[in-house]
Amino acid sequence: MGLTEWVLVAVAVLAVVLVVLWRQAVRVDRLHRTVLRSRATLEAQLARRAAAAIELAASGALDPAEAMIVSDVALRASDAAPVDLVPDGLAGSPETGPLAGVDDSPGAGTNRGLLESELSRTLRAVLGPRSERDELAADPRAAGVMTQLHQSWYRLQLARRFHNSHVEQVRRLRADAVVRVFHLAGRAPLPEPFDMDDELPGD
């Protein structure tokens, strides 16, 4: 082959490489955006569960001491919601909307996970076994809020699983040699899963 043919081959190979890299970069970006959306969904479910717990504590159906404990833990979780969005390590979150004000300080995710786990354990202890929960649900003062609490708690479990699954996809993709060598993830830090005790009350 002559020089012209070799140049054409080189250009074709370069074009293929660039297309492959571009498609991989788009995939990385799309997964990062998916993590951001799932993070917002998770945060919304955390806030809904805390709100339901606060409403239950204020319903008058609980023992006063138990109501005070639930209210204290739930209020701390609720107060954390607007500023301590579940950190996934992603930089450049939107300046407005549900993702505004992300706290990326060291330990923020761990502290939030501990707080939400404390709320889970407190609620399980207060609600007790199924027989006691059924009795509480039969109380007109707590019937509606018990349903809200169960639904928000269950949706929280699903939201956390989806979020962590998306984070795992990003981490697996970013471990790819091509993504690492060509820095296709840009300067975005590696996202982290959100760990907490979200087990629902048992029988």
Nearest to 169 by CA among 143, 140, 191, 198: 191
> Is pLDDT of 102 > 50?
no
Residue among 158, 122, 201, 123 at smallest CA distance from 45: 158
Dihedral through CA 148, CA 149, CA 152, CA 155, nearest 10? -110
Q: How far apart are alpha carbons 25 and 42 in whole angstroms?
A: 26
> Average pLDDT of the chain?
86
| Residue in this structure with the two tokens 């349903």, named with its chain if needed | 147
Instruction: Encode pLDDT of 123-149 as tens digits.
Output: 999 999 999 999 999 999 999 999 999
For the chain, percent of residues with pLDDT exceeding 70:
85
Sign of the alpha-carbon torsion through 105, 110, 111, 115: positive
- Give first-to-last CA distance, the chain, whole Å: 77
Region 90-100: mean pLDDT is: 37
Position 97 pLDDT exceeds 60: no
Confidence of residue 104 (pLDDT cuts 50, 70, 90): very low
Q: What is the pTM of this model?
A: 0.82
The Cα 37–Cα 43 span in angstroms is 10
- Token pair for 176: 């790819």
> How confident is the model at residue 87, as a pLDDT?
55
In the prediction, which pLDDT does 49 show? 97
Say how far apart CA 37 and CA 47 lie, in whole Å.
Answer: 16
Residue identified by tokens 């239950």 is 56
CA angle 92, 98, 99 (to 5 degrees): 20
How high is the pLDDT of residue 105? 45
